Structure formats: structure tokens, C-alpha cells
Amino acid sequence: MSNHEIGPHVRGESLFIGDLPDPPGLLHAAVLAAKVAHGHIVRLDTTPAAGLDGVHCILTAADIPGENQIGGIVQDEPLLAEGEVHFIGQPIAVVVAETAQQARAGAAQIALETDEIPGVFDPREAAAAGNLLVPSRTLSLGDVDATWKACHTVVEGRADSAGQEHLYLETQTALVIPQEGDRLRILSSTQAPTAVQRITARVLGLPMNAIEVDVTRLGGAFGGKEDQATPWAVIAALAARALKRPIRMELSRHEDMVMTGKRHPYSSDFKIGLDEDGTILAYEATYYQNGGAAADLSPAILERSLLHSNGSYFVPNIRVTALSCRTNLPPFTAFRGFGAPQSMFVLESAISSAAEALGIDRSVIQKRNLLSEGDTFPYGMRAQQGHARRAWSEIEQRFDLPGLQNEVDAFNRNHTLVKRGIALMPVCFGISFTSTFLNQAAALVHIYTDGSVSVSTGAVEMGQGVNAKIVGVAAHTLGILRDRVSIETTNTLRVANTSPTAASSGADMNGRAAEIACRALLDRLKAVAADLLGVRGDRITITGGAIEVKGKAVELTWEKLVSEAYLRRVSLSAQAHYATPKIHYDRETESGEPFAYHVFGTALVETTVDGLRGTYTIDRVRVVHDAGRSLNPLVDMGQLEGGLVQGIGWMTVEELLYDGGRNLTDTLSTYKVPDILSVPEIEGHFLEDADNPAAVMKSKAIGEPPLMYGIGAYFALLDALRAFRPDRRPFFNAPMTPERVLMHLHGDRCDEDEIDMEEADSIVQR
Ligand code: LUZ
Ligand code: MOS
């Protein structure tokens, strides 16, 4: 079975790290984690655990041979706490035992005393106390201050969105096998093999060439394994080094939910100014990002929030400020969308408030302000394709919006206990890592003497289908059938210095690297064929494994050609590197061209709300999405559907709750994700004739953008709520749980307790 085959995968035959047979001598590691959100460690006595059955050793910060530091962007995060703890779930000690059960039992016996210090959990409180993870940043275009007085209507308000648990099916896990000497082989469920390699080397005090990281596949990641797979692999490596035994480290679901970071909650203020007709003249926002106890990827996520503050719209005067606030919660981290969903929710909230104030439909404002070709983004880049408007018009053409609106209005007139709502949600998402240097990838391609092909790249397969896409690119480029190509594990010995598979760009960049390597091989093979056939190389084409001269089939086959090339001592291996061209960004001036291109699309969301129970269904979502020339329409439709449903979950039923620093939703019985029964009818269409010159085989990235269509679910629900209670102002506090629906419809206040709308909101109208 190869790494990209769907049949065996859906039959459950794929091997994840947890499925691999135990190597001889295997031991298991478990961690003792902090039980208070902020405190001084006053006693840490491991002796009660040391004598337990099966326990081999207990490691603390004092046993780290290199640096006790796992921070990536900012070096502010110890692997194991020393002196102080900063969040519940922070690893303090590691117990290694014969079984995972014994290791956990050992951790429970360690005598730990912590003197609690007051913690901070609210990002606005942290900001007020000057507790930021990195300095705040402001992005601006035009002159906001000078524009307010020219506006017909100015609305201010507040919008909050909660965090989100990744809930990848496979929890964080690693298996480390000591090799000769100091060398370690690490099997890790990570999106970032090189980060695991680099941080392990740093913590163990070894050179990177002593560490091999191998990744076969992940059981889901969604950003949760971009930075946060690392500590578990490093902990296992630390134990493997200390004991010279293979070590497994696997978080239980509960440990994973308690200890690992999630999507950042944001609390934001907005101010929007418009003309009478709904044209947005000015927009201002401040985002308070709840960063948790260490920087992790928060600074990059905050940057992406700023770069998506204008959503799919042209906003001529804009000023947005983002603060990454340090709190005593597990460091929040990458999650599909990477800060863009949060800032797009704020703008959509502002648009809703403005629509309310102007007495027009929010879709009028949305449509009027959509980006056109050549419009400037707040960071100075220009919109290169008019696909924001194209996708919106295609929604209008395909789905008869006025007809749907009439149907919904009629339904709402005829029903008192149940109401329907609709909303449109345009998405514009920039493709490329915002840290320019990460936009590079590499591939290593071998053709074996039987004509079969082996491709290694830096891309990690996490269920998103990147291997299926790269097989397609390699087979197409070489002109052979897909079944001749296999994709190998992602391995730091074969492909070095990999960027994380993230930012939706895995197939884009690694596919391009594979394409370049395959072209080099093809050129060498064509030269051999030209010589064999006595024709010029440019007359030869290879398609589906058949060789043709000027379109006519010849005797020579792919297999014979490869074998002949080998006999002539022609290299059948190629390595290639790809660096996304042109992109640049200047953080001093907050301007540049950070993205290779943008992905566009629009969703039309329909919902029905039960006004007695507060429950609702998301009935149907129809999407027109720009996938460029899709590399693999089946995979892309899967990403569209999966991303959409994950976004709907974030906006509706997934409610991450904390009591101080304690996660109250740390089990599957208290944290609800959409199940198959709650999935709406989904109708996805890809824009036709949307070739993208800026990516591999004219495709577009797809991993993240569809998540943001889910934001439409929140506003469709608000639309239905307005049909029940036109007297109540909309509130912007996601997720829109059934409890919040009930509070809005029947509570004393028009919002629920956390936000005082009357104080937070103000409308100035001339
Ligand atoms: N990761 C990252 C990402 O390091 N930089 C990014 O810009 C990004 N964007 C989306 C998802 N992950
Ligand atoms: Mo990501 S949010 O790891 O692309």
C-alpha cells in the first residue's frame, strides 16, 4: 500500500504511530502537569513515585542536558517547568515506566506543592496590565480619523469569539528509537518535522544531524500539530536518551484537551463608518488576542489577523491594532485559518451593526464593498483577480436570492415558534506563510530501474490529501500513470529544513518542488529517447507511460527507456527546491506583498431556529469557491466540506469554557463538535476557468479558506433571531449556542451576561 491510496485508508489499513508494533525494550512516558494556573513550585519530591512497580526513572528540568527551551518565535517556553508554573496542564516532570498506566500512576504519586499566585485569564485585563507576549502591531491605510466626520453613519461595538479545540482523531504522540551512539530516530505525529528535529537537538544538546524525524501520516492536525506536537516528541527523546530504550509518549484524549493549546479566543472593539448607500468609508478595530502563557505561534497568528482585517472588502481607510495578551492558559496555537477567522468575524459583526443602523440588509453592504480587481489591501498589495465579485455573482445567478428571501419571509410570516434565516459569507484568504522565509519546499525524486517512481517532499499527510495531489503532479509531469508513483514518508534525512505543512500551502509548494525535480528527470530521459529514436528531444512526448514522436506512438516504452537510461549511467534521481517568487513584507512599514495570491469564494447559509428550545439546524450551505484549476476535485471538495463544517462548529456549538484557568470542557461529553446529523446539505461549486498562474499546475490552495464560510452560520442565525425579535439588537459573541439563542429571545437583556451591549455599542448618525 502506498501513502496516498484512498481505498486502504478508508478500510482502516493505514498505519498510524499507535498502530506500529512495539520495538523490543519499549518503555512509556507520562507527564506530571501543573494543577494550578499560576504558582511557585515549593516542593517537588519524586521519591514516592520512584519506588513504584514498573517505574524506571523520573525526569525533571534538572535532567535536561541542553537548553530547557522549546519556544519557536519567542524563546519563552520551558519544556519542563522550573520554579514557576503558568497554566494548568504545564508539564513539570516525566515518569518512564513499563506501561503507560504505570507511568501515569507514577506521575500521580509525585509530591508536588505549588503556592498559587493570582492568574490572569482575560486578554483585556492582561493588556491593561501591560502583559503582552510581543509588542502590539498596527496596520493602516488611508486616514481613518479624518474620515469619520464624512460618514453618514458611524457604529461602534464589540465582538468576541471563543477558542476551539482541534479534536484531531489521533492525539499528540511520538515514538523515539535510540540508534547507534547518540543518534535518535523520532516518529512524530507532527506537521513540522524540522521543528521537532531542531528543538530536540536544542533540548538534548545534540547537533541536528544526530536526529532523524520521520512522519508517515497524521490522524488529523488542523494546526494543532504545527507547534504543539513538538514537546511530546522532545519529552520522549529526553527519556530515550537517558535510558537508551525506545520510548512511546501518547496523550490520552483528556490529557490532550487539558494540556494543549487551541484556537485563540479574541475580544475585539470595532468602529465602522459608512455612506448612506452602505459604502464602507472607514473601519477601525482593536483585537485582544488571548495568547495563553507563552508566545508559541501567537505573533504569526496575530499578523494574519491584521492581514485579513478587511475580509473580502475594499476598505479605503482602515486602522487595525492587535495585541497578543499573556494569560495563564495553555498557549493558544495555530488552528485552520490562523487568526483570519477571528478578524473576519469582527468585520462581519461591524457590517451587521451598520446594516441595523442604516436599516438595510447586510448583504447590500457586503456586495457593495466587495474587492474588485486592482483594489488595494490594507498592506498595499493589490487584488489581482476579480474573483470576490465573480463568486458572489455566481451565487446570485445560480441560486435566485430574491426568490429564497421571499420564501424565507413567507415562512417567517406563517410561523411563530420557528423562524428561518439566511446569510451570505464572502471569503478572501491570502496564500503563503506570512513569514516570508517559510515559503520554501523541497523534493527528492527517484526513478527505479523498473520504472516505478518514489517521491519524497517536505509535506506531511494529515488526511488533507496532499499525497494524492503530489502523486498527480509527479505522474502528470513525468507522463506516467499514477500507480507508478509512490509518496514516501516525510523524513528529515531525505528532505531537510522543511517548513511546517501549514498555511494551506503544502501541496502548492511541495507540489511545485516535486514538479521541478520531475521535469529535470524528464529532460534527461527525453535526451536518451531522442538518441535511441534518432529524433530531436522536443519532438518526443510521454503520456500515460506511452512514448510518442510528433504524436505518433513508437515501440519504446517508459520502462525500456528508464532501463536504457540506467545502462547509460544517466542519473535517475533529482532533488529540487522551490521558493515562492516575488513575495515580501516589511514589518516596519506594515506593507508589502506577503501572499502569492488570494483565494476567494462566497457561501450562502440557511438556518432554522426553534424559538422555544433555542435549538437550530444549519439546513443548507451553497458555496461558490475558487479552487483555481483544481489539482484533485474530489480532495478539494472534501476540504471545502470539512472546513465549512469545522467553521460552523466554531461559530455554533463548540463552546470552550474556562473557570479561571481550568478548562471546563476537557472531555468529549462537555465539548460538542458537529456530528454527522448536524451537517447541513452542502452544495459546492468551483469557479470555472479560474486558472491560477501563481501556483502548481494552475491550482489554488484550499485547506483553510472554506473554514471561514462557517462564519455565515452565525449571521444566518442572527437573521432568524431578528425575525423573532426585531426589537432586539444583534449580539456578537460566538459561539451562538442554543443557550445564547434562548437568552437573546427570552432573557431580560437583549444580549447575554458577558457583554453589555448598551454600553459597548454606540451609533452616531447624521
Ligand atoms: N503558519 C505559519 C500558518 O507559521 N504562518 C502562517 O502564515 C500560517 N498561516 C496559516 C496557517 N498556518
Ligand atoms: Mo495551520 S493553522 O497549521 O495551516
Nearest residue CA, atom 10 of ligand 1? 503
pLDDT of 328 higher than 80? yes
Judge if the beta carbon of residue 300 lies within 6 A of ligand 1: yes
From 434, 440, 498, 499, the mutation candidate for ligand 1 (largest count of ligand atoms within 8 A of CB) is: 434
pLDDT of 302 higher than 60? yes
DSSP codes of every residue in 238-276: HHHHHHTS-EEEE--HHHHHHHS--BPPEEEEEEEEE-T
Q: What is the pTM of this model?
A: 0.97
Distance 342 CA to ligand 2 centre (A): 14
Give the whole-angstrom CA distance, residue 400 versus residue 604.
11
Q: Which ligand is nearest to the CA of 340?
A: 1
Ligand 2 atom nearest to CA at 704 = 4
Kindly report, residue by residue over 650-679, the tens digit of the pLDDT.
999 999 999 999 999 999 999 999 999 999
Judge if the beta carbon of residue 195 lies within 6 A of ligand 1: no
Judge if the beta carbon of residue 462 lies within 6 A of ligand 2: no
* Per-residue pLDDT band at 385 (split at 50, 70, 90): confident
Judge if the beta carbon of residue 191 lies within 6 A of ligand 2: yes
Distance 35 CA to ligand 1 centre (A): 31
Given the residues 461, 548, 704, 759, the one annotated as active site: 704
Q: Rounded mean pLDDT of 221-230?
A: 98
Q: 303 catalytic, yes or no?
A: no
pLDDT of 637 higher than 70? yes
Distance 220 CA to ligand 2 centre (A): 11
176-181 long-range contacts (CB < 8 A, ≥24 apart) are 176/233, 176/236, 176/237, 176/239, 176/240, 176/246, 176/247, 176/249, 177/23, 177/240, 177/246, 178/240, 178/241, 178/244, 178/245, 178/246, 179/212, 181/210
For the chain, percent of residues with pLDDT exceeding 70: 97
Kindly report, residue by residue over 603-635, the tens digit of the pLDDT.
999 999 999 999 999 999 999 999 999 999 999
Locate 642 and state its grid cell.
Answer: 470539512
The residue count of the chain comes to 766
Judge if the beta carbon of residue 583 lies within 6 A of ligand 1: no
pLDDT of 198 higher than 50? yes
Lowest mean pLDDT among 384-388, 504-508, 738-742: 384-388
> Among 599, 196, 142, 664, which residue's Cα sits nearest to residue 383?
599
Q: Given this model, what pLDDT does residue 10 score?
A: 87
pLDDT of 281 higher than 70? yes
Kindly report, residue by residue over 62-102, the tens digit of the pLDDT.
999 999 999 999 999 999 999 999 999 999 999 999 999 99
Judge if the beta carbon of residue 226 lies within 6 A of ligand 2: yes
Judge if the beta carbon of residue 408 lies within 6 A of ligand 2: no
Distance 552 CA to ligand 1 centre (A): 47
